[in-house]
Amino acid sequence: MDPPSNLGKEIALKSMNTLRLPSTARFFAEVTDEQALVKALNWADAQGLETLIVGGGSNLVLVADFDGLVIHLAIKGRQWENVSEDGATLVLGAGEHWHDVVLYVAGSGYRGIENLALIPGTCGAAPVQNIGAYGVELKDTLVSVKAWDCEQQKMIILDNAACQFAYRDSLFKRLPRRYLIVQIKLRLSRTLPLSLGYGDLMQYFSDLPDKAALTPLDVAEGVMAVRRRKLPDPEQIPNVGSFFKNPVVSMAEWEQLKAKFPDIAAYPGDSSVKLAAAWLIDQCGWKGYRNNKVGVHNHQALVLINHSNGTGKDILALAGRIRADVADVFGVELEIEPRIISG
C-alpha cells in the first residue's frame, strides 16, 4: 500500500500545539480531502500504526513523542443550504478555522454562534468537547456531523442526539480513536434572540440603551473584547484555555459545600450545580503561581501556562499539585479538560 503522498517523518509538533510543548511525530501527513484521509488511515493500519488527528492543537497536552501517524485535517469548505427567511444551514469542512467562521456567519447576519467567537481551533474539533462560552454551546446549533467511523470503516452521519453532547463532552471525546470528523452542519437563525445574559457579556453591553439594535457581529465583537481582557493570547503566552472543567455536584453536595464555604462561586442548574473551578483554584493560592517553566495565569486561575520551555510532564505535574490541593481543601475532584497524549 502506498504511503500518503506528502508523508513526513520525525516531524516536530511544537509549533502545532498552543501550549508549545515539545513532541515529535514519527510520521505526519496533512490531508485536504476525504479520499486522502481514508488512504492515510489505511496505510497507517497496514503498518500497525496508531493515528492522532490534530486540528489547531489548542486542546492537546503532548506529554511524549507520538510513535504513529499524526494527521493534520485541513479539509476546507463552506456551503449554504436550505436558505429561508428564518435562517439557513451551513456545511463546514473540518479544517475550517472556527473563529473565522464565526465572524463570517455573524457578519452575514446569522445568529447562533456569535458568543463562541475567538475560541481557537478547527470546525472538526468543535463537536469533540462541544465547545461553549458565554451561555452558548455548539450543540445549540449543530444539526449533524459527518465522520469516518474506524470501526465500521465507512463515512457516517451522526445527528445531534447521536453525538451525545454534554458539558464539554461528547461521544467523540469519550471514543477518541473511533470517529474522525470531516464535516459539520449548523442551523443558523436570522431571528433567534441574541444571548446577552451571561456575566461579563451582560456587563459589557450594560450601558447600551437600545440592545434591540445589536447585530450578531456586535455581540461577537463584544465577546472578543471581553475575552481579550481576561484570557492570554496563546501566540504570546502558550496555553490551552481552561485546563480544568467546572466540577458538577449534586444539590446535596452543594448545600454541604455552601455551609462550609459561604462565598463559594457556582452556577446553579435545575438538578445539579456547576462549581467555578477557577474560584476553587484561586482559594488554594495558585493564581499567578509560576516556577521557572510553567505556571498559572495571574488573571484566570483555570489557565495553565508554558512560560519557558516547559514540557507536557511539567504541565501535568503542576496540574496534579493543583488537583491535590483542591481535593484536600474542598473534597472536590477536578477533571482535566484537554486531551492528554502520552505516546
> Which amino acids are annotated catalytic?
168, 242, 337
Q: Which of residues 279-318 bind ligand FAD (CB under 6 A)?
A: none
272: phi then psi, degrees, rounded to nearest 5: -150, 175
Distance CA 292, CA 275 (A): 30
Tell me which stretch binds ligand FAD (CB under 6 A): 5-13, 176-184, 255-263, 268-276.
Answer: 176-184
Our CA angle for 144, 150, 155, nearest 5°, is: 40
Grid coordinates representing 159 are: 445527528
CB closer to ligand FAD, 221 vs 253: 221
Nearest to 88 by CA among 136, 157, 143: 143
- Cell digits of residue 324: 491535590
Short-list 226, 198, 152, 175, CA closest to 53: 175
- Site residues for ligand FAD, 311-340, by CB under 6 A, read 339
Pair 133, 141: CB distance under 8 Å: no
Q: Which of 58, 115, 170, 311 binds ligand FAD (CB under 6 A)?
A: 58
Instruction: Assess contact for 305 and 239: CB atoms under 8 A.
Output: yes
- Give the DSSP H/E element, type plus range, for residue 315: helix 312-330
- 23, 51, 59, 283: residue in contact with ligand FAD (rule CB under 6 A): 59
Interface with ligand FAD (CB under 6 A), residue from 13, 28, 29, 55:
55
Element (H, E) at 62: strand 60-62
Which residue's Cβ lies closest to ligand FAD? 121
Asked if 22 and 310 count as a contact pair (C-beta separation under 8 A), the reply is no
Q: How many residues bind ligand FAD (CB under 6 A)?
A: 35
Distance CA 216, CA 195 (A): 10
Helix axes 216-230, 98-107, angle to 10 degrees: 140
Q: Which is nearer to ligand FAD, 133 or 188 (CB)?
A: 133
**Footprint of ligand FAD on residues 97-136 (CB under 6 A)?**
119-122, 124-126, 128-129, 131-133
**Residue span binding ligand FAD (CB under 6 A) among the ranges 39-47, 55-63, 152-160, 278-286:** 55-63
Among 172, 244, 286, 330, binds ligand FAD (CB under 6 A): 172
Residue 57 touches ligand FAD, criterion: CB under 6 A: yes
Closest CB 305 distance from ligand FAD, rounded Å = 10
Name the residue nearer to ligand FAD (CB basis): 21 or 128.
128
- Which residues of the shown chain bind ligand FAD in the complex (CB under 6 A)? 18, 52-60, 73, 94, 119-122, 124-126, 128-129, 131-133, 172, 176, 179-181, 231, 234, 239-241, 339
